[in-house]
A = this chain, B = another copy of it.
Amino acid sequence: MNGDKEKLLSVPASPNGHRAIEHAGASAASASKTVLAYERRIARLILDALGAPPVRLVLWDGWATGGEPGDAIATATIGDRWALYKLALNPELQFGELVTQGRVRVDGDLARFLETVNRAKAEAGFQYLPQKVLGWLYRPRSNALGKSRQNIYQHYDIGNEFYELWLDREMVYTCAYFSSPELDLERAQLAKMDHVCRKASLKPGDTVVEAGCGWGALARHMARYYGVRVKAYNISHEQVQYARERARREGLDNRVEYVEGDYREIRGRFDAFVSVGMLEHVGFENFPKLASVIQRSLKPNGRGLIHSIGRDKPALMNPWIERRIFPGAYPPSLSEMLTLFEPSGFSVLDVENLRLHYAKTLRHWLQRYENAVDQVNEMFGGEFVRTWRLYLAGSIAAFASGDLQLFQVTFARHGCNQVPWTRQYLYPERTTD
């Protein structure tokens, strides 16, 4: 660690080991500027509007509101006057912007801080602008064919090396399934893949199409352990290259075909349609298109499984996440997901909500990310470090507070009776322990 990085990262560790966000000298720059009375008022109004969460807000001259350091879950320090104004005008977007710029700092457990704020907001029914205005301001970016590639490029083509620093060995970048809570991340991702394969009732010789395959782990898992042939689609060039190379190395390339292509380009008919962690990127306006793809690619007695981040009611993506992390993303509510199935002649067989498993998965990721943070800083610099830390901690908070859900939906065609009799088969003696 050289001196520059040392300075950048020298922040107090919170009791449970997460580091707080770095503070890039903001307080020094504004220390001379006295806080005015109405600015204190604004600070108090912000906390009140958020439902008065038990957190401490400190302004640039050291003035504080919202509880004593000992009582508060965490402390947010606003480093300058304009940061306060921006936050007051548009907290949903500006909190993230200001934290990554180092103008707002959180000391303490960032994820717990954010979860506390989420819960207080939900309790108070907080919304800084009407949903209609938000919808106009923060409409998710288009996912037309060319746009999707650009949106996905921004997130997934950062470089496989970066994700290798903190994902599991199989490079699974979706919610794990902790069939028992003490599983480690590696095992929980294997358990998730088994859970998905069982839900899709895979049997040797089946053909499977996977829409949005990431680095290809699930496709390899299905081919290796379930004796099926998989055609897996992904529009991220980097991920497809990685997946192909790894399948070749592991001797699976005769049973898994990775196609650099969009779900709209899926061709053929299959025994199972599986999609894990893609629907969030499809955009609600494209659901009818995806439904018609499933419709044409599933055999009469085929099974389908869609695993997606969702909501317990329709709402827009957090604007900061949509801008900085996942352009074009929209996590649908379950009723919105059902527009894929009900008008297209599919029956929903099973829905499982794994929200708390995603919070746990993300805690593992954040821990691993923090362990590798020096390398991340070396690769991309401090602003990137803060952006991704906030994204991971914010996602923990969203799943832990219920602002985000994780739905696995299993379906078959209307009237198909070749479906499992009960769900007992999903719960064998725990094989993944």
- A346–B312 touching, CB < 8 Å: yes
Q: At the interface with chain B, which of A4-12, A30-38, A143-151, A331-339? A: A331-339
Confirm or deny: A179 has a beta carbon within 8 angstroms of a beta carbon on chain B. yes
- B335, B414, B417: the one contacting A312 at CB < 8 Å is B414
Q: How many residues of A contact B (CB 8 A)?
A: 45
- B421–A178 touching, CB < 8 Å: yes
- A414–B402 touching, CB < 8 Å: yes
Q: Which of A410-433 contact B (CB under 8 A)?
A: 414-417, 419, 421-424, 426-427
Q: At the interface with chain B, which of A265-273, A348-356, A361-369? A: A348-356
When C-beta atoms are compared, the residue in chain B nearest to A344 turns out to be B313
Chain multiplicity (copies): 2
Q: How far is the CB of A98 from chain B (nearest CB, A)?
A: 26
- Chain A 271-305, CB-CB to B under 8 Å as 1, else 0, gives 00000000000000000000000000000000000
- A417–B353 touching, CB < 8 Å: no
Bound-state CA distance A110–B424 (Å) is: 32
Q: Are A122 and B400 also in contact (CB < 8 A) when A350-B352, A351-B350 are?
A: no
Q: Which of A313, A341, A403, A422: most chain B CB closer than 10 A?
A: A422
Confirm or deny: A347 has a beta carbon within 8 angstroms of a beta carbon on chain B. yes
- B356–A417 touching, CB < 8 Å: yes
- B122, B312, B338, B427: the one contacting A427 at CB < 8 Å is B427
Confirm or deny: A181 has a beta carbon within 8 angstroms of a beta carbon on chain B. yes
Confirm or deny: A234 has a beta carbon within 8 angstroms of a beta carbon on chain B. no
Q: How far is the CB of A129 from chain B (nearest CB, A)?
A: 20
Confirm or deny: A343 has a beta carbon within 8 angstroms of a beta carbon on chain B. yes
- Chain A 352-394, CB-CB to B under 8 Å as 1, else 0, gives 1101100000000000000000000000000000000000000
- Chain A 72-107, CB-CB to B under 8 Å as 1, else 0, gives 000000000000000000000000000000000000
Confirm or deny: A119 has a beta carbon within 8 angstroms of a beta carbon on chain B. yes
Confirm or deny: A314 has a beta carbon within 8 angstroms of a beta carbon on chain B. yes
- A312–B350 touching, CB < 8 Å: no
What residues of B have a CB within 8 angstroms of the CB of A122 in the complex?
414-415
Q: Are A348 and B351 also in contact (CB < 8 A) when A334-B338, A402-B416, A421-B181 are?
A: yes
What residues of B have a CB within 8 angstroms of the CB of A351 in the complex?
348, 350-351
Bound-state CA distance A416–B355 (Å) is: 11
When C-beta atoms are compared, the residue in chain B nearest to A339 turns out to be B335
- Chain A 27-57, CB-CB to B under 8 Å as 1, else 0, gives 0000000000000000000000000000000
Residues of A whose CB lies within 8 Å of any CB of B are: 119, 122, 177-181, 312-314, 333-335, 338-339, 341-343, 345-353, 355-356, 400-403, 405, 414-417, 419, 421-424, 426-427
**Could you show 16 A-B contacts with beta carbons less than 8 Å apart?**
A312-B342, A312-B345, A312-B348, A314-B342, A333-B338, A333-B342, A335-B338, A338-B338, A347-B355, A347-B405, A348-B351, A352-B423, A356-B419, A402-B414, A402-B415, A423-B423
Question: Assuming A334-B338, A350-B351, A401-B415, what are 13 further A-B pairs, CB within 8 angstroms?
Answer: A122-B415, A177-B422, A178-B421, A179-B422, A313-B345, A333-B338, A335-B335, A347-B353, A347-B405, A351-B351, A356-B419, A400-B417, A402-B415
